[in-house]
Amino acid sequence: MVKSSRLITTTVLGLVFGIICLFLSRYTAGVAFWPMGVSFLLNHTVLGFAIGVSSLRMNWAAHGAVWGALFGLFTAVTAVGTGLNPPFAFVMVVIWGFLIETIATKAFKQPQ
């Protein structure tokens, strides 16, 4: 059963990290706001939603990293030809997924 407070927490964290990633990619790599910046924003928001709604029973750290890796594949594929380094984009989404899970589980005390 999904706890609504965990779902809201992880989705909002995904949105916040999506905004951070949007601005970091815009001002460090010169990535266009549309479509890549909006793609990052949506990707991270859906990542947060997926982490919150997931019923996978595993260690919380691995849980965030696994979901980050799944969503990182999509980001890495879309980063080809945009000025971003695809392996870097993949690793960053894994880190964002780990951070979403870490903050939700440890700081906000929202267990899986």
**Residue 59 within a domain:** yes
- Per-residue pLDDT of 59-77, as tens digits, reads 999 999 999 999 999 999 9
| Domain-embedded: residue 112 | no
Task: State how many domains the chain has.
Answer: 1
Outline where DSSP puts E strands in the chain: none
The pLDDT of residue 1 is 75
pTM of the entire predicted model: 0.92
35 or 92, which is more confident?
A: 92
Question: Chain centroid to CA 100: how far?
Answer: 7
Calculate mean pLDDT across residues 9-22: 95
User: Where does the pLDDT of residue 51 fall: very low under 50, low under 70, confident under 90, or very high at 90 and above?
Assistant: very high
CA distance 30 to 39: 15
Give pLDDT, residue 37. Answer: 85
Query: Sorting pLDDT into bands at 50, 70 and 90, what band is 29?
Result: confident
Which has more pLDDT, 35 or 11? Answer: 11
User: Which domain covers residue 47, as residue numbers?
Assistant: 4-107
